[in-house]
């Protein structure tokens, strides 16, 4: 169910090879970050989202556009952190703070490739009820064995052209 449009604006993915201090085992740390715009996207000239005060449900799973594709059987010791923070709530016509509603804590799951290719990718889940346009920043950190990555995800480019669907549309 999605009554509010969700537009994902991802930042470049960061991949780092790290060494665990106790075991000295090498692990791949991948950081995915960006903003999920719920409702309307912000205006290019002001950076502000419009004051659309309609009560809308949000229950959506969004593939991160630059996700790596992981081997399921190699994720037995994977560690994941996900954080989210509100970055914008649209102002009312009287220039006062608008209503937010509620968003449950963002969660992350692994989902199969939508085209049936091998591996699973990272999917950000958002649910709740909003009363205005919102911006939610997210960061997902994945720590796994390097051999868990079947193939590297694509790099994030600029916003899609007007005739291309955005992630989550």
Q: What is the pTM of this model?
A: 0.80
* For the chain, counts of helices (H) and of strands (E): 0, 11
pLDDT computed for residue 88 by the predictor? 66
Q: Which residue has the higher pLDDT, 24 or 94?
A: 24
pLDDT over 60 at 160, yes or no: no
Q: Which residue has the higher pLDDT, 57 or 35?
A: 35
Residue 58 neighbours by CB under 8 Å, 6+ apart: 2, 3, 4, 6, 38, 103, 126, 127, 128, 129, 130
pLDDT computed for residue 82 by the predictor? 94
pLDDT over 90 at 71, yes or no: yes
pLDDT over 90 at 133, yes or no: no
Given the structure tokens 């952190």, which residue do they identify?
Answer: 81
State the pLDDT confidence band at 80, using cuts at 50, 70 and 90. Answer: very high
- Taking 3-state DSSP, the helix, strand and coil percentages for the chain, each rounded to the nearest 5, stand at 5, 50, 50
pLDDT computed for residue 127 by the predictor? 84
Q: What is the mean pLDDT of residues 104-121?
A: 89
pLDDT computed for residue 11 by the predictor? 92
């Amino acid at each position: 169910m999605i009554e509010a449009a969700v537009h994902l604006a991802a930042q470049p993915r960061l991949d780092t090879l790290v060494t665990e201090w106790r075991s000295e085992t090498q692990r791949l740390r991948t950081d995915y970050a960006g903003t999920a715009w719920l409702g309307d996207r912000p205006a290019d000239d002001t950076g502000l989202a419009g004051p659309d005060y309609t009560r809308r449900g949000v229950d959506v799973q969004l593939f991160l556009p630059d996700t790596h594709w992981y081997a399921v059987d190699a994720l037995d010791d994977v560690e994941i952190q996900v954080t989210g923070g509100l970055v914008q709530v649209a102002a009312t016509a009287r220039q006062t703070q608008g209503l937010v509603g509620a968003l449950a804590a963002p969660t992350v799951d692994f989902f199969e490739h939508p085209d049936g290719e091998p591996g699973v990718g990272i999917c950000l889940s958002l649910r709740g009820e909003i009363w205005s346009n919102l911006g939610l920043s997210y960061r997902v950190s994945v720590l796994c064995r390097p051999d868990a990555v079947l193939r590297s995800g694509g790099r994030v480019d600029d916003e899609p052209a007007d005739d291309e669907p955005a992630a989550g549309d």
